[in-house]
Structure 1
Amino acid sequence: MQAGSRHLNVLRLYRHFHRNRKGAVAVEFALVAFPLIFLLLACFELAMIIVLSVTLDHATDVTARQIRTGIMTQGNSTAAGFVQKVCDNMGWLAATCPSSLHIDVQTYDSFAQVPTADLIKNGKFDTANFAYNIGGGSKIQLVRAYYEWPLFTPLLQAGLSTLGNKDAVVSSKVVFRNEPF
């Protein structure tokens, strides 16, 4: 009879725990909360990168237009001045912009000469060929702007261009023919 009563006690204990649902929601939330919060932060960070990309495209385009129309020339502008103008057009990022922005302004004779190679090599910018050369009227002009953005969630690092320090690189490129000025 002892074996039978032990079996009944175990069965009663099981029924008691099976019916007692106190704390189940807390346990379920604890299991789901971390992945949910992590995914929400990753979505927020991706949205910030998209806003940064659109902002950088706009700022680069507006500033490059000054080269295209002849307002900015090699004689009346510098690379630091160009960076500052791009940063001024970035609004909400203007404070951290100068230290995070890299620019390359080049002149070419034809559109076929414009490079398309990736400038991130071994987790670093390959800035060996970066320059600030504004061409004269009717010259082909390439303006590239690269912005380093620190990532907080490792989920996005695999899908984005990143540097060795795990910063994402957001880029904007504008290719155009200068107006005949």
Structure 2
Amino acid sequence: MKASEAKTRRKGLFGLFMRDRKGVAALEFAMLAAPFFILFFAIVELCISVATWQLLNNAADDVARILRTGQIKAADLDEEELRTMICDRMQFLVGNNCPPEQLIVDLKQYDTFALAAAAKMRVRNGEVVIEDRGFDPGPSQSKNKMRIVYKWSTLTGFMKSRLFNLNDGTTSLFAAVTWQNEPFDD
């Protein structure tokens, strides 16, 4: 077989392969499936974490209203009971998966709203840092600030490194509420 015949024959086989349309859908699916599923799971993961963040904010507002109106007095409440109140309001998405190490609560009274606004909270080196963290709810007419951090875990393991910011593979969903208590009897 001459070189030109071999080249023509190869061109013919390649051309035949290119003209054959059997299995094109399977080949296209194989090329597009991985990016599609990565995008799909990223969207689902993000939607669920945003819904959990909104639920956390609603729980913080609800608990703050209970404290602000004096329905529960500061003297009758400890940090564990406050954490339980918040977790109870988040059960729709987190269920009973609200262990104390995943929920950080900071509730303190301040002399002014400016001091409350100046209180710092950040993520540093993969850890949540709340300066002067404590539990000191104020009495009637005191100014209070409650900060809550919930460590949200991924649903899909391969999204951990791309969506989450803490060392333990979770992300910090946070809520903050500042208010002044109403005049109620202590």
Query: Do these two structures clear the TM 0.5 threshold for a shared fold by scoring above it?
Result: yes
Matched, 1:145 2:152: no
Deviations 1:42-92 (A, max 9, x none): 000000011101111111111111110112223111100011011111122
Q: Structure 2 length as normaliser, TM-score?
A: 0.87
Look up the SS of the partner of 1:97 in the other structure: coil
Deviations 1:91-141 (A, max 9, x none): 222401233211000100111101342332221122562211111111111
Structure 1 unpaired stretches of 5+: none
- Matched to 2:15, the amino acid is R
- Matched to 2:124, the amino acid is K
Cα 1:89–1:19 change in 2 (3 A) is same
Once residues 11 and 128 of structure 2 are traced to their aligned partners in structure 1, the CA distance between those partners, rounded to angstroms, is: 67
Q: Which residue is equivalent to 1:105? A: 107
1:30 Cα offset (Å): 1.3
Q: Which residue is equivalent to 1:21? A: 21
Look up the SS of the partner of 1:66 in the other structure: helix
Deviations 1:15-60 (A, max 9, x none): 2112112222222211111111011000000000111011111111
Q: Which residue is equivalent to 2:74? A: 74
Percent of aligned pairs sharing the same letter: 28
Look up the SS of the partner of 2:75 in the other structure: coil
Matched, 1:155 2:162: yes
Q: Which residue is equivalent to 2:96? A: 95
- Matched to 2:96, the amino acid is A
Q: Structure 1 length as normaliser, TM-score?
A: 0.89
Once residues 94 and 25 of structure 1 are traced to their aligned partners in structure 2, the CA distance between those partners, rounded to angstroms, is: 42
The partner residue of 2:169 within 148, 155, 166 is 166
Structure 2 unpaired stretches of 5+: none
